[in-house]
Amino acid sequence: MDYFDILNEACRNEGLSFDEQKYNQFIRYKDMVKEWNEKINLTAITEDEEIIKKHFIDSIKALKSTELKNAKKIIDVGTGAGFPGIPLKIVIPELEVVLLDSLNKRVNFLNEVINSLGLKNITAVHGRAEDFAANPSYREKFDAAVSRAVANLAVLSEFCIPFVKVNGYFIALKGPAVEEEIKAGTKAVETLGGTIKDVIEVQVEGTDLNHNLVVVKKVKNTPKSYPRKAGTAAKKPIK
């Protein structure tokens, strides 16, 4: 498997350039994921090819959303091992990125990756989305919020939409079965100031994976009462 070619194809299909430097950053990142995964739980996906396709290319595919592609400053909520935030930063170096995660060990890993790959204008922060979204330095300060496989849409909207500026976007990276989630989550999206603008089907090159991007436009300010205190969104989703 020529990883350069498959990454290049994924980028080209989204109208992005790819080169040796970006390739080397991805390979170094892959190696660090595998190395650190032996010490802390980052991912159940540990084979080289699977990491490239199911993590890196799946993250790049978020750029099928032109709203995300046009964003200048994004936050990746519940980033885990850095997906999709770090792959997005590698392929669009001028993007300003904040990686938010609630586990300090993962934030230490993210900082090591940022330093090792020589990435600029990207910050990893340790904390809960509910706390950071109430912080004036973060609340409604981003062109886009992204999140991948963190929670169902109703809960995830409360974590993410408060970070987004009015007329900005929240993009949720979801699996194949999103219809029920959208039905159950529409009330939460609207309560938090958003409206579901699009659902984009995504195919990951070299796999049979079919994913979806749920694109939410922020049309008005999030009410000050949201997000609720930590743990509430998951226990009592907005219905």
What digits encode the pLDDT tens for the residues 36-51?
Answer: 999 999 999 999 999 9
CATH of domain 3-235: 3.40.50.150
Q: b/e per residue, 175-199, with b = 16+ CB within 10 A?
A: eeebeebbeebbebbbbbbbebbbe
CA of residue 139 relative to chain centroid, distance: 17
Distance CA 125, CA 107 (A): 7
What is the pLDDT confidence band of residue 26, given thresholds at 50, 70 and 90?
Answer: very high
- What is the pTM (predicted TM-score) of this model? 0.96
User: Which helix (H) or strand (E) element contains residue 158?
Assistant: helix 153-160
Is the predicted pLDDT of residue 17 greater than 80, yes or no? yes
pLDDT in tens, 118-157: 999 999 999 999 999 999 999 999 999 999 977 899 999 9
Residue whose pair of structure tokens reads 């529409």 in the numeric block: 186
| Contact (CB, 8 A) for 170 and 18 | no
- 50: tokens are 């699977």
pLDDT in tens, 62-99: 999 999 999 999 999 999 999 999 999 999 999 999 99
Domain boundaries in the chain? 3-235
pLDDT in tens, 89-111: 999 999 999 999 999 999 999 99
By C-alpha distance, which of 52, 40, 84, 79 is closest to 213?
Answer: 84
For residue 209, the model assigns a pLDDT of 82
Is the predicted pLDDT of residue 175 greater than 90, yes or no? no
Distance CA 225, CA 52 (A): 40
pLDDT in tens, 176-230: 889 989 999 999 999 999 999 999 999 887 788 889 999 999 999 999 999 999 9
Tell me the three state secondary structure of residue 44: coil
Provide mean pLDDT across the span 155-161: 97
For residue 207, the model assigns a pLDDT of 83
Distance CA 13, CA 91 (A): 13
For residue 1, the model assigns a pLDDT of 65
| Contact (CB, 8 A) for 210 and 225 | no
